[in-house]
Amino acid sequence: MKAEEIIDKYYGEEPELKELLLMHSRQVAEKAMMVLDMHPELTVNREFVYQAAMLHDIGIIKTDAPGIHCHGTHPYICHGMLGAEMLRNEGLMDYARVAERHTGTGLTRETIQKQGLPLPADDFSPETMEEQIVCYADKFFSKSHPERTKSVAQVREMLSRFPDANLERWDHWVELFE
């Protein structure tokens, strides 16, 4: 399985969005590979992490975010769940888990219910090391400003603006991955 083949399948008619998705996904994949290079003690499947990083945002095509060329019908917060559904339909169950667990530092049932998010009331926090690495790497890059790379401090500042952000999890990742 090659992530770019799956992206081509869904994004063939959306060249601008495909280009943005590939740029962002490559940034996340490269950051994830840097984490693995700095931490050979992390016993994870490198190829899986790379492919998962490439596929984590595949669901954006179904969302309504015109500023980043997304002209779907769903709220952007749903992109992880939508991507997970797409990946499950492709038989890629482990990749689907990464997609549905990468939003913020992970979304808990309590956060979903408290904020009334249009998501199933479940826990979507990254559990496996692979899920955590992709989620961590994703926080450094924005599709709205693909030319920028955030610092650890800037990511923490951005996360602190969300009432239910798990800053303890972020700080743990910084200790683990930097």
pTM for the model stands at 0.95
Q: What is the rounded distance in angstroms from the CA atom of residue 163 to the CA atom of residue 117? A: 13
CATH architecture of 3-177: Orthogonal Bundle (1.10)
pLDDT tens digits along 60-113:
999 999 999 999 999 999 999 999 999 999 999 999 999 999 999 999 999 999
Instruction: Please give the helix or strand (H or E) that residue 71 lies within, else none.
Output: strand 70-71
Q: Which residue has the tokens 């709220």?
A: 75
Q: Which residue has the tokens 């920028």?
A: 148
Q: How many residues does the chain have?
A: 178
pLDDT tens digits along 101-149:
999 999 999 999 999 999 999 999 999 999 999 999 999 999 999 999 9
Q: What is the rounded distance in angstroms from the CA atom of residue 4 to the CA atom of residue 13? A: 14
* Rg of the Cα atoms in the chain: 15
Q: Retrieve residue 127's tokens.
A: 């559990």
